[in-house]
Amino acid sequence: MADWIVGLRKAAVEPRPRASEGELAQAEQLLGFPLPAELRSLYAQMNGGAFEPDVALYALRQAPDAAGVVEATRSGLIGLPREGVWRFGLRGGGDHLFAARRSALEGLPKEVAPGWLRELPADAWLYGRKNTDTGELELFRSLQALLWHLIPPVESEDFGENTYVKAMNAVQEALDALEESTGDAGPAKRKGKKQAKGTKAKAKSKSKAGVKGGARRKPAPKGSPKRRPSPKRRR
């Protein structure tokens, strides 16, 4: 699960259970075109919800207490084409949240369309809000950017738990790779890497006092006989 979806679930005042694969496929079949990947990933984790300040994400299907993505998309949005546009939320009663293919927004005035819009391929999905009262339109490259613009991220001790798990996995993989490259094996050696560093440092300092080619010999005590060289053997 993407970290931003984890954070969004934590920010929800009224989170809803995730949509099943069957419900996602049914919504796509009813409307005749696929859900954008980001929107599909979001609904696979939470089927709509309410957020502060005054933001609502629709459930896939309309319910007595909530609007539905399928029904809202079918009704369309003034100023946007019906084909290739998903409606999935509302802010404050006037800002409608939507996803649209870049090709569906070809007719936007230059003063409204951002410069990066032309850089995207025709089948790329982008996200935005459209105010039906003022006609204001704002576009974003990703669903995450749109929702974080409208919904303040949650700050808590356990926020980013997926990031922590991924980081720990990456550290473990790096340690394993280092272990293989150095030939260091076994849990005892892995636990003793820090002690090994200290030992190496001590050994290095001792080696400076040694003699090249071998260790320095201790001087013989006074009064001890000198050692005679052994006679050469005859061949």
Domain locations in the chain? 3-150
Could you say which architecture CATH assigns to the domain 3-150? 3-Layer(aba) Sandwich (3.40)
Contacts of 118 (CB under 8 A, 6+ apart): none
* Confidence band for 79, pLDDT divided at 50, 70 and 90: confident
Task: Give the CB-side neighbour count of residue 138, counting CA atoms within 13 A.
Answer: 12
Q: Is the pLDDT at 199 greater than 90, yes or no?
A: no
Q: Quick one: three-class SS letters along 75-120?
A: HCECCECCCCEEEEEEECCCEEEEEEEHHHHCCCCCCCCCHHHHHC
pLDDT digit string, tens, across residues 25-60 = 999 999 998 999 999 999 999 999 999 889 999 999
Nearest in space to 139 (alpha carbons), one of 104, 103, 100: 100
Q: Does the pTM exceed 0.75?
A: no
Which of the residue ranges 36-50, 145-159, 163-177 would you say has the lowest mean pLDDT? 163-177
Confidence class of residue 88 from pLDDT cuts 50, 70 and 90?
very high
Q: Give start and end residues of each alpha helix (H) in 131-215.
A: 143-150, 161-182, 187-191, 193-207
